[in-house]
């Protein structure tokens, strides 16, 4: 969405400076192909602590460690299963995070005290240049405040956390646009903890068995948050959320419901995919790409823009219930629950 002047994109000198800042225990905004990360030296407990205070994130939520390449795996994980090697070879650099048993020396601050660690090699030239210059693991959650929309441009990071980071490396708009697939390989049975651009089918093609997908309904997310399960903040109900209440409405009812809300005096922003703009002056209408990759690429920038346009409601055209839309439905489902003041906004037409 937001175009970036190539002249503003990070060059070698910025990358060297960012690596120095990381070594000095500072935080840096780092582009990846998924979303921007809030980066710190994963072995520096004080620096990692700064991530949690900057985000306002509970300190027992584990962070993903980003590596320059798969050869670094052995420093961070032990008992690396063959499936992990096969998946790393197939998808790294790329939007897949592997949860593995952690090696000694991986700080509790990074793993949330768990005996596992999340690892990935991001597919972005600036991130890879930084990782190579730094030559060690970089802990980086998405560079948003806890529970809010992940940033997909350098400007988003500056808006949200500009006062907390020493430097934001500009890598342009993130190509994928939603967070990596998280696959837990630490318990024998492979389980997808967070769906992303790499699907269960993609994984099955490589390892010859289908991972289970931890279901992502908001109530189950809330229940998981209460339980002793590994804490995946992406599984909390109120996540990825705009401040404006968000409703998901099937295409067949989209225009009618938006008009009804507007008729009741609400200002309504619409994110459509297949529905045509009815040119109703009361609606702020935005069309998103109709294919999942294009839709994901623009999703968070669209939500940010619509959140900022002063509407009382954001109405989003619901997605097909097919596997290629699963990661997007997951994010939008949580956005609906977590939006507004954090309470679920129940559509009066919903039976539940």
Residues found near ligand TXA in the complex (CB under 6 A):
32, 34-35, 37, 61-64, 95, 97, 99, 111, 114, 116-118, 122, 140-142, 179-180, 182, 193, 230-234
The whole-angstrom separation of Cα 170 and Cα 200 is 31
Q: At 129, phi and psi to the nearest 5?
A: -65, -40
The whole-angstrom separation of Cα 186 and Cα 33 is 25
Q: Is 97 in the site for Mg ion (CB under 5 A)?
A: no
The token duo for 123 is 């597919």
Gap between the terminal Cα atoms of the chain: 35
Q: Do 43 and 23 form a contact (C-beta atoms < 8 A)?
A: no
Q: Which does 63 bind (CB under 5 to 8 A by kind): ligand TXA, Mg ion, none?
A: ligand TXA
Q: Which stretch binds Mg ion (CB under 5 A): 10-18, 136-144, 156-164, 198-206?
A: 136-144
Q: How far is the CB of 235 from Mg ion (least distance, A)?
A: 11
With vertex at residue 239, the alpha carbon angle to CA 229 and CA 323, rounded to the nearest 5 degrees, is: 80
Q: Is 152 in the site for Mg ion (CB under 5 A)?
A: no
Q: Between 148 and 297, name the residue whose CB sits nearer to Mg ion.
A: 148
Q: Which does 319 bind (CB under 5 to 8 A by kind): Mg ion, ligand TXA, none?
A: none
Q: Is 142 in the site for Mg ion (CB under 5 A)?
A: yes
Q: Between 222 and 259, name the residue whose CB sits nearer to ligand TXA.
A: 222
Q: Between 171 and 272, name the residue whose CB sits nearer to ligand TXA.
A: 171
Helices (H) and strands (E) in the chain, counts: 12, 14
Query: In 3D, which of 120, 20, 21 has the Cα closest to residue 62?
Result: 120
Q: Between 74 and 252, name the residue whose CB sits nearer to ligand TXA.
A: 74
Q: Between 147 and 317, name the residue whose CB sits nearer to ligand TXA.
A: 147
Q: Give me the residues paired with residue 347 across strands.
A: none
What is the binding site for Mg ion (CB under 5 A)? 142
């Amino acid at each position: 969405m937001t175009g970036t002047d190539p002249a503003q994109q990070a060059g070698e000198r910025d990358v060297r400076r960012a690596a120095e800042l990381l070594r000095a225990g500072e935080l840096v905004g780092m582009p990846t192909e998924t979303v921007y990360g809030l980066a710190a030296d994963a072995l520096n407990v004080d620096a990692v602590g700064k991530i949690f205070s900057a985000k306002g994130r509970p300190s027992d939520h584990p962070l993903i460690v980003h590596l320059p390449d798969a050869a670094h795996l052995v420093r961070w994980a032990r008992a690396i299963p063959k499936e992990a090697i096969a998946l790393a070879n197939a998808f790294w650099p790329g939007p897949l995070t592997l949860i593995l048993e952690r090696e000694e020396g991986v700080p509790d601050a990074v793993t949330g005290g768990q005996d596992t660690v999340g690892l990935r090699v991001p597919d972005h030239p600036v991130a890879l240049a930084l990782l190579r210059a730094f030559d060690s693991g970089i802990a980086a959650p998405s560079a948003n405040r806890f529970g809010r929309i992940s940033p997909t441009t350098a400007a988003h990071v500056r808006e949200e956390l500009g006062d907390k980071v020493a430097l934001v490396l500009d890598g342009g708009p993130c190509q994928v646009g939603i967070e990596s697939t998280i696959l837990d390989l630490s318990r024998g049975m492979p389980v997808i903890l967070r769906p992303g651009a790499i699907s269960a089918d993609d994984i099955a093609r490589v390892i010859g068995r289908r991972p289970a997908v931890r279901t992502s309904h908001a109530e189950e997310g809330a229940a998981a948050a209460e339980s002793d399960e590994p804490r995946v903040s992406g599984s909390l109900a109120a996540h990825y959320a705009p401040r404006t209440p968000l409703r998901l409405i099937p295409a067949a009812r989209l225009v009618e419901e938006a008009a009804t809300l507007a008729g009741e005096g609400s200002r309504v922003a619409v994110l459509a995919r297949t529905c045509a703009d009815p040119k109703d002056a009361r609606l702020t209408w935005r069309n998103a790409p109709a294919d999942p990759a294009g839709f994901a690429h623009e999703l968070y920038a669209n939500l940010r823009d619509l959140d900022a346009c002063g509407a009382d409601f954001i109405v989003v055209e619901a997605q097909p219930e097919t596997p290629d839309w699963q990661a997007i439905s997951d994010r939008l489902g949580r956005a609906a629950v977590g939006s507004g003041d954090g309470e679920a906004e129940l559509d009066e037409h919903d039976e539940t």
